[in-house]
Structure 1
Amino acid sequence: MNIGFIGLGSMGAAIVPNLLIAGHAVKVWNRTASKAEALVEKGAILTATPGEAARDADVVFTMVADDKALEGVTFGGDGILANLKKGGIHVSMSTVGVALVERLGIQHAAAHQGFVAAPVFGRPAAAAAGQLFIAAAGAPEALDAVAPLFGLISQKVFAFGDNPVSAALVKLAGNFMIVSVTEQLGEAMALLGKGGVDKAAFLDFMTSTLFNSLIYKNYGALIASQTFEPVGFAAVLGAKDVGLVKAAADGLNVPLPLADLLSDRLARLVAEGGGNLDLTALSKLSVDDAK
């Protein structure tokens, strides 16, 4: 296939090589062009605009930081919408608000283009290994068309119907749970540390029994060792996602009191200079408060 890929942060840069290895022609665009150099060496073609990456593409992926970035690469004369051919499919893998996802679905349909929301769960290492989990929603024919590509970058795809907003909500709810677990682990580890208990031994005990899951094992190890770099999921993006969760909840009239707490905690972390650390740096607040 002819593929466009827009957004070469830690996740996008890890996904593209899997598409190239499979023999697909991939045009890439990134706001900072130098981040594409390693991919160009592997066979990707660097373009000057998002529209150029989308032009002649069967499928164009976006993996960008937030709503503003996705709007910037999609709309306007140099954007995806104006340049993607009829029948082409835009696959949004970004974590963005439900209102924008709904708008994208409507406008791509009006342009006779497909649109699939396919946010992912997994860190850059999982992306590089083709082991992401994908929550996907869109028209059945569009999902069928991109299924072979999803197979190259994920270990499993979970379908949530034909409304792309559903996948966006799944991603936001999932990230809300991830941030919640991070805060929970941070508070528990602060308690153990203050009490002189071996945190690694505690983590091994809990993840071998009641909490045997990747999120507790992986995030727990980083929190127990207070290791917040390299960054897999920046705290500032976690703060953005909790804001999107709150906006979605407001739109559906659903109270989320825990989201209010997490929003305050992340705002404090960012204000204290930790926004560019890994999300697990949220645990620093509990440790500092326990001193």
Structure 2
Amino acid sequence: MNIAFIGLGQMGQAIAHNLLKGDHTLTVFNRSRDKAESLLQAGASWADTPAEAVAEADVVFTMVSDDAALRNITLGDFGFLTALPEGGIHVSCSTISPETARELAEQHRQKNTEYVACPVFGKPEAAQAAKLWICTSGSQSAKDRVGPLLELIGQETYDFGDDVGAANVVKLAGNFMIGCAIEAMAEAFTLGEKNGVDRKAMWELFSNTLFASPVYKNYGKMIAEEAYQPVGASPALIRKDIRLVLDTAQQSMVPMPFGMVVFQQLTATVAKGIDNIDWAGFAGEVSENAGVGKR
């Protein structure tokens, strides 16, 4: 297939490299060309605009920071929607609102192209290893066509039906649940520390018994050691995601008080200008409020 890829942050670069391993042609675009250098050396081609990137594409993948960025590269002055060949498929991996996904799907329908929501779970190292957990929604025919490409980038795909907004609801719900787990661990480990119990000892117990899962093992280690590197996603980026959670909850009439707690903790971290740590670093708000912070 001829594939275009737009948005080459840590996640985008890793996913694009794995697509190249499938012996497909790949054309890439990013606001800054330097992030494309490793892909160009691996055989990808460069495009000067999103529209140029998709001119001969069967499929275009996008992985950008937010709804506004996705709308811009799709519908803006140099956006790719009008340039994507008829029958082409847009695979959107970004964490966006379900409303934006539905809006873009309708725009694609009017142009005789298709849209598949494809948000993913996993840190950049999981993306590099093609071990992402993938959520999809959209038309079955489009999902069937891109299925072999998704096998190149993830370990398993979970489908959520025809409504393109559904996969984005699942992605937002997942990020909300991770945020709640981070807050819960921060509070629990800080409670232990204030009472003379080693934080790391608590993490070792819980992550190997009651809460033996990737979130408690990986994020829990960061929180136990209060060492928030490497940066998988920044506090500001995930604050945006939790804002989308709360917006969707409000529109759906779903009370989500824990969501507000996570949002306020991320807001405090971002307001302090702390941007060189993984988003799990908002756990430091709990430690600092208890007088034991080491962030």
Q: Please give the TM-score of this superposition, normalised by the length of structure 1.
A: 0.98
Partner Cα separation in structure 1 for residue 10 and residue 4 of structure 2: 17
Structure 2: gaps of 5 or more residues: none
* Residue 85, structure 1, aligned to residue 85, structure 2: yes
Taking the aligned partners of 2:192 and 2:280, their CA distance within structure 1 comes to 17
Equivalent residue, structure 2, for 1:150: 150
Contact 2:40/2:46 (<8 A) preserved: yes
Aligned to 2:180: 180
Secondary structure of 2:135's counterpart equals strand
State the secondary structure of the residue aligned to 2:40. helix
Output one character per residue of 1:22-59: Cα deviation in whole Å (capped at 9) or x when no partner: 21111011111111111111111111001111111010
Name the structure 2 match of 1:56: 56
C-alpha distance in 2 between matches for 1:173 and 1:275 = 24
2:22 alignment partner in structure 1:
22
Distance apart, 1:191 and its partner CA = 1.5
Does structure 1 retain, via aligned residues, the 8 Å contact 2:235–2:275? yes
Residues 51, 77 of structure 1: 8 Å contact kept: no
Partner of 2:131: 131
Tell me if the contact between 2:56 and 2:84 (Cα under 8 Å) persists in the aligned partners.
yes
Residue aligning to 1:239: 239
Offset, 1:208: 1.6
Paired residues, number: 291
Q: Which residue of 2 aligns with 1:4?
A: 4
Q: How far is 1:276 from its partner?
A: 4.1
The percentage of counterpart residues that share the same residue type is 45
What does the per-residue CA deviation read over 1:201-240, in whole Å, with 9 as the maximum and x for residues that have no partner? 2111112211010000000001111111220021111110
Q: Which residue of 1 aligns with 2:263?
A: 263
Question: Displacement, 1:196?
Answer: 2.2
Q: Is the 8 A contact 2:190 2:199 kept in 1?
A: no
Counterpart of 1:46 in structure 2 is 46
**Structure 1 unmatched runs, 5+:** none
Give the Cα–Cα distance (whole angstroms) in 2 for the partners of residues 275 and 186 of structure 1: 19
Paired with 2:254 and 2:224, the residues of 1 have a C-alpha distance of: 34
Q: Distance in 2 between matches of 1:276 and 1:149?
A: 33
Taking the aligned partners of 2:32 and 2:276, their CA distance within structure 1 comes to 18
Q: Which AA in structure 2 matches 1:253?
A: M
Task: Report SS of the residue matched to 1:267.
Answer: helix
Report the RMSD for the aligned CA atoms in angstroms: 1.0
Give SS of 2:144's match.
Answer: helix
For 2:233, the aligned partner's letter is: F
Return the letter of the residue paired with 1:206. F
**Runs of 4 or more off by more than 4 Å in structure 1?**
none
1:191-270 paired onto structure 2 within 5 Å: 191-270=191-270
Q: Which residue of 1 aligns with 2:97?
A: 97
Distance (whole Å) between structure 2 residues aligned to residue 54 and residue 193 of structure 1: 54
Opposite residue 265 of structure 1, the aligned amino acid is Q
2:121 maps to 121
The CA distance in 2 between the partners of 1:177 and 1:262, in whole Å, is 10
**C-alpha contact (below 8 Å) 1:179/1:238 kept by paired residues:** no
Partners of 2:245 and 2:126 in 1: CA distance: 24
Q: Which moved more, 1:53-62 or 1:221-230?
A: 221-230
Shift, 1:115, TM fit: 0.4
**Contact persistence 1:236–1:276 (CA under 8 A):** no
Question: 1:252 Cα deviation (Å)?
Answer: 1.2
Residue 289 (structure 2) pairs with residue 289 (structure 1): yes
TM-score (norm 2): 0.96
Task: Report what 1:76 is aligned to.
Answer: 76
Q: Which moved more, 1:277-286 or 1:141-150?
A: 277-286
Could you tell me how far apart the structure 2 residues matched to 1:57 and 1:276 are? 36
Counterpart AA for 2:166? S
Once the 2 structures are TM-superposed, how far is the Cα of residue 274 of structure 1 from its aligned partner? 1.7
- Partner residue in 1 for 2:164: 164
